[in-house]
Amino acid sequence: MTPPTPRARPVAPVWLDRALAFAGATAALLSFGLFAWLVWDLARLGLPRISWTFLTGEIEDAGRSGGIGPLLVSTLLILVCCLALVIPLGTGCALWLSEFVRRGSLAARLVTGGVDLLASVPSIVFGLFGMVFFGQTLKMGFSILSGGLTLACMILPILVRTTLSALEALPADLRPASAGLGLTRTTSIVKLLLPAALPGIVVGITLGIGRALSETAALIFTSGYSIRWPSSFWDSGRALSVHIYDLTLNVPQSGAMASSTALVLLALILVVNSAAVALSEHWLRRRHQTS
Amino acid sequence: MLGLLALVAGGMVLLIVWYLFSNALPVIEAGRLAAFFTDSLWQPRSQRDPQFGVVSMLVASFLVTLLAVALALPVGLAGAVFHRFYAPPVLERWNRRMLELLIGVPSVVFGFWGLMVIVPLIVRLAPHTSGQSLLAASIVLGLMILPIIALTSQAALQAVPPAQLQAAAGLGMGRARTIWSVALPAAKGGIGAGVLLALARAIGETMAVVLVCGNIPQIPKSLFDGIRPVTSTIALEMGYATASHKALLFCAALILVLFTALLVGWLSFRKVESDPGTGGA
C-alpha cells in the first residue's frame, strides 16, 4: 500500500508576502502612532503649566489652578505604607515557598494558586475590600494607611512572583554548600540567599511601585479625596491618579490641569519602570558573565 | 513564622471573597438575587419602584470587553508578525521596550485622553449623540490592552522553534506561507493565553471605561449608545450607596471576581495541561 502523497502546498505568491508586510507595518505604525498621539496631546496641554510652583503649590479653585504639592506628598506616603506591608509579606511568602516546602506539594500549590487568583482580582474590587476591611473592620476610615495597605494586597502577587523566581534562579549548590559550612538555615537565608536574590527582589519592588502609582480604582474608596497637606498616615489624602479622575469627572474646564498631573504621573512611572527594566537587564548581564 | 506570612498571602484572596460575600449577604438572604437577573431596570434607590436588574450591566461589560479585544487583536497580532518576520531586530527591540513602558500607563490617563480626544471624534461621526458610548469605551479599552496582546503575541512567535521555520524554508515555502501555515499555528496557544489575559484585565477595568462610556444602564442597540459596565457602576455609586443598594454593589463585585477567577483559573489549568514538565502554576 502506498502512503498517501502529501498535498502539494503551492508557494505563496509574492503579492501575499507584500500584503502581509504592508498590513503588519500599518498595524505597527498605527499602534505607535496612537500612543505618540496620546503623549503628544498630554504634553501639548500639560507641559506649559509644569513648574516648581506647580509641583509644590496647593490646589486652588477645585483644581482649575494652583499645584499638586499635597498630592505628591500623599502619593508618597501611600507608597510608604504599601511597601512597609508588601515587602515583608511578599518576601516572606516567597522564601517560604522556595526554602521551606517541597515544590509541587499541596501546601505550596495552594499558596501559589491563591496568589495567582489574587492577581486576577479587578482593582475596583480591591477598593471595595479595602473600604470594608481596612476602613471599617480595622477602623482606619478614609486614610493614607488604608489606601496604602489596600495597594499592598494588590501588588503582593507581583512581589511574590519576582522574588520566587529570583530565589529559584540562584545556583543550586548554594544551599548544600552553606549547610556544609555549618550555617543554620536562618543564617544561610539572611546572609546568603537574600543578598544573592536582592536584585530580583528590587526589580519586583520597582515593578510593584509602578503598578501602585498608576492605580486609581483601589484608592477612591480607601485613601479618599482630601486635598489638604497630610499630617499623618491617618489623614485622608488624594493620590495623583485619583486627582486626574476627579478633575475629569467632576470639575469642568480642568483639562489642562489634568494633563499636567497626568504628565507628572507618567514621568514618575516612566522613571520607575525604566529603572526596573535597566536593573533586570544589568542583573541578567552580570549573571551571564559570572556563570 | 514565614509559613504564617505565606498563609496570609495565599489566603488573602479568600479573605477578599469572604468580605465581599458577607457584605452581599443581605441581598442574598432577602431572596433578592433573582431580581438581579429578572428586573429589567437598575433604579435601586427609587422609593416607588426599586428595581435591581443587573443584566444590562453584565451585557455592557461583556460587549465592551469583546469589542476591545476585537479591535486590539488584529492590530497587536499583525504588529507582532511584522516585528518578528519583517522588521530589523533593532526596531523589534525598541518596539518591545516601548510596549513594556506602555503597559505601565495608568488606565485613568487612557480614560482622560479618550474623553478629550476620542469622544469628540465620535460626536463628529454621529452628531446627535453625546459621543460617550459603547464605541468610545471599546476604543479606549482596546488601546489599553493593545500592549498586552502585542507583547504576548510577540513572545509566542519568538518561542516557535527555529528548526520549524528552517524546515518550512527548506520545503520552499515563502515567507508569507511560513507565517500563515507554520508560525501562527505553532504560536496559537501563546497568543490565546495573551488574549485571555487581556480579557480578564479588560472586564475588570474601571477607570479607562467610566469616563467615556456614558453611564446609562441600558442594553445598547447601537455602537453609539451609552452603556454602564459593572465596574463603572460600582465606582460611581459606592460613594453614596447605603443598605441594600450597597449590598447589591458588593454582589456585583462578587460576580465580577468569580468571572475573572474562572478565566484565570482556566488559563493556568490549561498551562499545566500543555506543559506538565514545568509544573505550571
Residue A265 touches chain B, beta carbons under 8 Å: yes
Whether A128 and B253 have beta carbons less than 8 Å apart is answered as yes
- What local confidence, expressed as pLDDT, does residue A288 receive? 67
Instruction: State the pLDDT confidence band at A6, using cuts at 50, 70 and 90.
Output: low
Q: How high is the mean pLDDT of chain B? A: 86
Distance CA B20, CA B14 (A): 10
CATH of the domain at A142: 1.10.3720.10
The interface predicted TM-score (ipTM) is: 0.88
Best interface-test mutation with B: which of A29, A38, A260 has the largest number of B CBs within 10 A?
Answer: A38
Residue A264 touches chain B, beta carbons under 8 Å: no
Distance CA A273, CA B234 (A): 30
Whether A92 and B6 have beta carbons less than 8 Å apart is answered as yes
For residue A91, give its domain range. 70-239
Q: Contacts of residue B172 in chain A, CB cutoff 8 Å?
A: 11
The string of pLDDT tens digits covering residues B163-179 is 988 898 888 888 888 88
Does residue B42 sit in helix, strand or coil? Answer: strand
Query: B2–A112: do the CB atoms touch at under 8 Å?
Result: no
Nearest to B230 by CA among B133, B213, A219: B213
Contacts of B32 (CB under 8 A, 6+ apart): B52, B244, B248
Task: Specify the range with the lowest mean pLDDT, choosing from A90-104, A150-164, B163-177, B263-277.
Answer: B263-277
- What local confidence, expressed as pLDDT, does residue B197 receive? 87
- Where are the domains positioned within chain B? 28-278
Q: What is the mean pLDDT of residues A84-105?
A: 91
Do the domain assignments include residue A43? no
Beta bridge partners of A59: A66
- What local confidence, expressed as pLDDT, does residue A77 receive? 95
Q: Please give the DSSP secondary-structure letter assigned to residue B214.
A: B
Do the domain assignments include residue A151? yes
- What local confidence, expressed as pLDDT, does residue A121 receive? 92
Indicate the residue type of A212: A
Q: Contacts of residue A112 in chain B, CB cutoff 8 Å?
A: 10, 281
CATH number of the domain located at residue range(s) B28-278 in this protein: 1.10.3720.10
Distance CA B256, CA B251 (A): 9
Closest CB to B78 among A27, A88, A156: A27
The string of pLDDT tens digits covering residues B219-236 is 888 888 888 898 998 998
Residue A32 touches chain B, beta carbons under 8 Å: yes
Q: What is the DSSP string of A164-188?
A: HHHHHTS-TTHHHHHHHTT--HHHI
Query: B104–A125: do the CB atoms touch at under 8 Å?
Result: no
pLDDT surpassing 60 at residue B201: yes
Q: Please give the helix or strand (H or E) that residue B50 lies within, else none.
A: none
Do the domain assignments include residue A88? yes
Instruction: State the pLDDT confidence band at A3, using cuts at 50, 70 and 90.
Output: low
Q: Contacts of residue B260 in chain A, CB cutoff 8 Å?
A: 120-122
Instruction: State the pLDDT confidence band at A43, using cuts at 50, 70 and 90.
Output: very high
Q: Which residue of B has its CA nearest to A243?
A: B108
Q: Contacts of residue B180 in chain A, CB cutoff 8 Å?
A: 12
Do the domain assignments include residue A164? yes
Whether B212 and B64 have beta carbons less than 8 Å apart is answered as no
Closest CB to A277 among B5, B100, B239: B100
Angle made by CA atoms A165, A171, A174, in degrees to the nearest 5: 115
Q: Contacts of residue B205 in chain A, CB cutoff 8 Å?
A: 122
- What local confidence, expressed as pLDDT, does residue B280 receive? 32
Whether B107 and B232 have beta carbons less than 8 Å apart is answered as no
The domain total for chain A is 1
CB pairs under 8 A between A and B: 269
